Amino acid sequence: KLTKTEMDTEADVFYRQLPKVELHAHLNGSVSFETMETLIKRKPHLNIEHSMTAIRRGQRRSLDECFQVFKVIHQLVDSEEDILMVAKAVIQEFAADGVKYLELRSTPREVTETGLTKQRYIETVLEAIRQCKQEEVDIDVRFLVAVDRRHGPVVAMETVKLAEDFLLSSDGVVVGLDLSGDPTVGHGKNLLSALEKAKNCGLKLALHLSEVPSQRDESELLLNLPPDRIGHGTFLHPEVGGSDSLVDKVCKQNIPIEMCLTSNVKGQTVPSYDKHHFQYWYKRGHACVLCTDDKGVFCTDLSQEYQLAASTFGLTQEAVWMLSQQAIGYTFAPEPIKQRLEKKWAELKQQIL
Ligand code: 6MZ
């Protein structure tokens, strides 16, 4: 029987060996098939089947249906024990895929039945990161506290306060704030003061922007903050109903865009891989970083995303290498960490390219 590596083509090996930076990964969307099996077995009374937690190859869902999937996963992951298990597994899986630096994001939740609080939620993710480090998993992990836009301005402000506390007490592991959640719900103008507060206290901002077409005004507003990175930005450019003014703001402020090819195709905000907005921004020489978004839900990994981008847009291995190396500059890590990563890339380049 051939091992996985032997079955891989040479190209597959290149993408797996390529050192990678993952900057857009939602914890509960990143839970693998194997971990999901364990969770489903742990909670048989919920009657959850695997088809409810993942979108397989060739399948598509509406974005709305994707958000239903997260509701199911949240039922399965609702205690400190669950969070510790999924966070550790997700970190180990990213490391096994050749990710050397990971910024994980997650929305702190409170669950009365299990005694879970938002504070403990974050502490538990940080504990998972600490344990992986202690077990010498070869990956540097940082955390972004996520604000779910669906929950409105009061919760957003509470979450920012919590994130601010951890920014000071987590030894540099908590680095920023994410704004995510169903983009068709709520308006960013109501969250502006929470986001401004976050920025003022030193949290980096990674905001989902223009994931759906109706967010043009919201993006105009939020780009004035400005965010430190943009999630998706699918509908920013004029060819898809965005505007020159939006593109100008992004370019003048040089804001990197996190691009998630499979997620956007499976969630149907982008009609096909070759129509992905990666093409538009990459051609302009704009800062783009390939990411998975939800590797569990969309059944992908970062190696596959690099390979897809390369085959769809005809990137050479050298160009792919540049793409992964440039991502180091878009992390929220402090300068010494970036330098350490640069060094690692330089060493590996001789072996791999
Ligand atoms: C917007 C998304 C998302 O936070 O419980 N999330 N938000 N757009 C997307 N595109 C597909 N994918 C995931 O992980 C799940 C949560 O991440 C956000 C949603 O708020 C979702 O509930 P956590 O770890």
pLDDT tens across 212-231, in order?
999 999 999 999 999 999 99
Would you give the distance in Å from CA 41 to the centre of its chain? 27
* CA 343 to chain centroid: 24
Q: Which of 93, 103, 164, 211 is flagged as catalytic?
A: 211
Average pLDDT, the chain: 96
Does 324 contact ligand 1 (Cβ within 6 A)?
no
Choose which residue among 23, 26, 106, 179 to substitute to test ligand 1 binding: the one with the highest number of ligand atoms within 8 A of its C-beta.
26
CA of 220 to the centre of ligand 1 (A): 22
Name residue 111's beta-bridge partners: 116
Work out the pLDDT band at 4, boundaries 50, 70, 90. low
Residue 280 clears pLDDT 90, i.e. is over it: yes
342: annotated active-site residue? no
What stretches of 87-154 adopt beta strand conformation (E)?
99-106, 140-148
Is residue 194 within 8 Å of 225, Cβ to Cβ? no
Question: How sure is the predictor about 152, in pLDDT bands with cuts at 50, 70 and 90?
Answer: very high
> Is ligand 1 within 6 A of the CB of residue 27?
yes
Residue 2 has pLDDT above 70, yes or no: no
Name the residue with higher pLDDT: 351 or 9. Answer: 351
Residue 238 has what DSSP assignment?
G
Model-level pTM?
Answer: 0.97
Nearest one of 140, 138, 159, 131 to 102, comparing CA atoms: 140
Mean pLDDT of 282-286: 97
Instruction: Establish whether residue 231 lines the binding site of ligand 1, counting it when its CB lies within 6 angstroms of any ligand atom.
Output: no
Which of 9-13, 81-85, 158-162, 299-303 shows the lowest mean pLDDT across its residues? Answer: 9-13
Instruction: Tell which one of 62, 106, 178, 180 to mutate to probe ligand 1, the residue whose CB is within 8 A of the most ligand atoms.
Output: 180
* CB of 70 shorter than 6 A to ligand 1: yes
Sheet holding 288-290, edge to edge: 20-26, 99-106, 140-148, 174-180, 204-209, 229-232, 257-259, 288-290
Residue 341 Ramachandran class (φ > 0 left, ψ -120 to 50 alpha, else beta): alpha
Q: Kindly state the percentage of the chain with pLDDT values over 90.
A: 94
State mean pLDDT over 60-89. Answer: 96
Average pLDDT over residues 269-294: 98
Q: Is 32 a pocket residue for ligand 1 (Cβ < 6 Å)?
A: no
**Cα-flanking dihedrals φ and ψ of residue 53, to 5°?**
-120, 0
**pLDDT over 90 at 1, yes or no:** no
Cα of 66 from ligand 1 centre, angstroms? 9
